[in-house]
Chains A and B, each alone.
With several copies, the nearest count.
Chain A
Amino acid sequence: MDKSMLADMESLPEADRQRMSAMMEQLQIRDSLRMYNSLVERCFTDCVDTFKHKSLQKQEETCVRRCAEKFLKHSMRVGMRFAELNQGAATQD
């Protein structure tokens, strides 16, 4: 589908292309907010397990920092591999 889709896109007049890129921008905003939400959920679930205090304890905070940093590095690596595979699929067929 990729190529036909992109071909269609290039044949569109300027106004439509603006609309398209506005749409993509909206999707990206939504996606990064969702990513943020699910990162918080993951690190909270993995790092916070006792509820004797109302405030985050020192070792919980350390755990959350490492979790977030590790997840972001992981996510970037997946992104690179994913892009390579997408490119391979596009040139292949």
Chain B
Amino acid sequence: AANISPDVLDKEQIFGMAEKEMEYRVELFNKITHTCFNKCVDNRYKETELNMGENSCIDRCVSKYWQVTSLIGQLLGSGKPPM
């Protein structure tokens, strides 16, 4: 798809790619948020604050999720993550 018309389609492709990238990032953020909430936060909701254990769990969870993202990106894209 690189050898069609130079200007017009390229611009559309840039917009299209930027949109897909934004969607991808939003979805990644949402999945991290939901997964780490399930893994770290007590869902009996006895209080309003996140306690120290929950906070440190969240930080580590995000960090590990990020590492899994790059690990699988490497496996899929032979060396580099999709983005």
Q: Which residues of A contact B (CB under 8 A)?
A: 1-2, 5, 8-9, 12, 16, 18-27, 29-49, 51-56, 60-61, 63-75, 77-79, 81-82, 85
Contact = CB atoms under 8 A, between A and B. Distances in A.
B71 A56 contact: yes
| B interface, over-half SS | helix
Interface of B: 1, 4, 9, 11-24, 26-37, 39-41, 43, 45-50, 54-69, 71-73, 75-76, 82-83
Contact of B58 (A29, A36, A78): A78
A49 to B, nearest CB: 7
A8 to B, nearest CB: 5
A45 B37 CA distance: 12
Most buried by B among A37, A63, A64: A37
A78 B60 contact: no
Most buried by B among A23, A68, A79: A68
B64 A48 contact: yes
Contact of A27 (B9, B26, B58): B26
B24 A77 contact: no
Given A37-B28, A66-B48, A20 B60 contact: no
Contact of B49 (A40, A54, A73, A85): A73
